[in-house]
Amino acid sequence: MRISIFGLGYVGVVSAGCLANEGHRIIGVDPVQTKVDMINSGQAPIIEKDINTLIFNAVDRGLLKASTNTIEAVNETVLSIVCVGTPSMLNGNLDLKYISRVCEKIGTALRNKSKHHVIVIRSTILPGTMQEVVIPVLQKFSGKQAGIDFGVCNNPEFMREGSAVYDYGTPPKTVIGETDKRSGDLLASLYEKINAPLIRTDIRTAVAKIKIMKKLLACSIESFPVIDSPMNSFKSGLHTLDIFSISFIRFLEVCILPAVSIRTAFMKFFFA
């Protein structure tokens, strides 16, 4: 598949390297010329285990290139993955200016593209961002309708620094929020070779579910250290979500879900 990846930071570079390693043709897009030049010379602009080898091999095989040209990248691909940063602000909110800016550029490129295109948000976002920022901006600048003229999906990542390449191929779950089935099908096809549960739902539910899972993961590990050390567990091969599953159950039972019926509903929601 021909894929454009917007944002050549940590998530974007790892995603580009791993997808190219699977045989997909990738165009990485970033406004920083230094990052573009490094990718095109076969070097990764981040420090991460195994990523330099993946980037070098992908460029050498002609499966990966980088550019600053958004219109060219959108026209040459069928799916765009947005991996730009969403840094925290002093008030605790996420700064969405980079996502908004990228959506403006992608929307502008879509205005004159006749073929169907899918935009996937992989950046960290809060519930409501897709409906209040991403989709409205894309529709405004493209003059087209999401879910009809183009597709929009949310596909959060579960990668840890130091083992991101490994984590990409062994996620605890793959969650896809989609505006329409056609777009969800295209995105889901990227994960056919990954042995992990695939959850497909609407965009609002997908974002909220992942946000709650990550928040409760942090809270449950801090409040109920049922495993001596999370880092020791990581070293022995135990995934973050394994720790989460154990400590979260205890957290629910003690703190917030004394009613059996509510507990059952939550367990089905998170672990079904």
Domains and CATH numbers, the chain: 2-202 (3.40.50.720), 224-271 (no CATH)
What's the pTM value of the predicted model, to 2 decimals? 0.78
Tens place of pLDDT for every residue, the chain, 272 residues?
A: 999 999 999 999 999 999 999 999 999 999 999 999 999 999 999 999 999 999 999 999 999 999 999 999 999 999 999 999 998 888 878 889 999 999 999 999 999 999 999 999 999 888 889 999 999 999 999 999 999 999 999 998 888 888 999 999 999 889 999 999 999 999 999 999 898 999 999 888 776 656 555 555 445 444 444 444 444 444 344 444 444 444 444 444 444 444 444 444 444 444 44
Give the whole-angstrom CA distance, residue 175 versus residue 68: 29
- Helix ranges (H only) for the chain are 10-21, 33-40, 51-60, 70-75, 97-111, 129, 135-142, 164-169, 181-188, 203-223, 230-235, 240-251, 260-271
In the block, tokens 């980088």 appear at 66
